Amino acid sequence: MAQYFEIHPKNPQPRLIRQAAEIVRQGGVIVYPTDSCYALGCRLGDREAASRICRIRGVDDDHLLTLVCRDLAELAQYARVDNRQFRLLKAATPGSYTFILEATREVPRRLQHPKRNTIGLRVPDHAVANALLAELGEPLLSSTLLLPGDDLPMNDAQEIRARLEHQVDLVIDSGPCGVEMTTVLDLTDEVPKVVRKGKGSPEALGITP
């Protein structure tokens, strides 16, 4: 049975954030809010928890998950970033963007694209996600809360609890946070490429979809 925390979306309660982080450290899979939509998350190095996320999503274990980082400095520990990429990342973070970049050795091989050695990363603009990441001191391995057969991500925490209470360890209710997924930008080539257009505006970064 999943635990259920009501955490204020602007002023998250430190006690509940500490408890949520401990659930992650102990191998839990959680549902947490971001600036785009609700997401599933677990500890970066936890293979079993990552497999649980894939089962919930209805995808195989080869499905590429995203590293959600607290800031640009942490992101740069897990991705190789040159000066050109850094300028774009600085303009776009925090925000509703996921960036595909070359992974560093800090990223387990099983989480990288098998041929390109890349990883998707993002820095969310949401107080609860940021407080949780700061308490953890490491990224969350994450995936959008889009369940098999659904057209849109789930956005109502009570409904999430009803559907997933036996599959996750914690649901964080911070109210509705949207159903529009992040914009995915591939920064591995000289010219950034829009892989998926979502909530974040590519045009605001000078990128043509």
Query: pLDDT by residue (tens digit) across 64-74?
Result: 899 999 999 99
What CATH number is given to the structural domain containing 189? 3.90.870.10
In a domain, 208, yes or no: no
Q: Is the residue at 209 inside a domain?
A: no
Q: Give the structural domain span for 114.
A: 3-200
How much is the pLDDT for 62? 80
| Structural contact between residues 154 and 147, judged by C-beta atoms closer than 8 angstroms | yes
State yes or no: pLDDT of 49 exceeds 90: yes
pLDDT per residue as tens digits for the range 7-47: 999 999 999 999 999 999 999 999 999 999 999 999 999 99
The side-by-side arrangement of strands in the sheet containing 39-43 is 3-6, 170-173, 30-32, 39-43, 140-144, 66-68, 118-122, 97-102, 183-186, 193-196
Q: Which residue has the tokens 């041929």?
A: 115
What 3-state class would DSSP assign to 41? strand
Domain assignment of residue 205, yes or no: no
Evaluate whether residue 95 is within a structural domain.
yes
CA triplet 126, 130, 136: central angle to 5 degrees? 150
In DSSP terms, 6 is beta-bridged to 173
Please compute the mean of the pLDDT values over residues 65-94 and round it to a whole number. Answer: 96
Q: Tell whether 207 is covered by a domain.
A: no
Domain count, the chain: 1
> 101-139: per-residue pLDDT in tens?
999 999 988 888 888 899 999 999 999 999 999 999 999
What is the average pLDDT value for the chain, to the nearest integer? 95
Please give the Cα distance from 22 to 173 (Å, whole number). 17
pLDDT digits (tens, 9 = 90+) for 132-166: 999 999 999 999 999 999 999 999 999 999 999 99
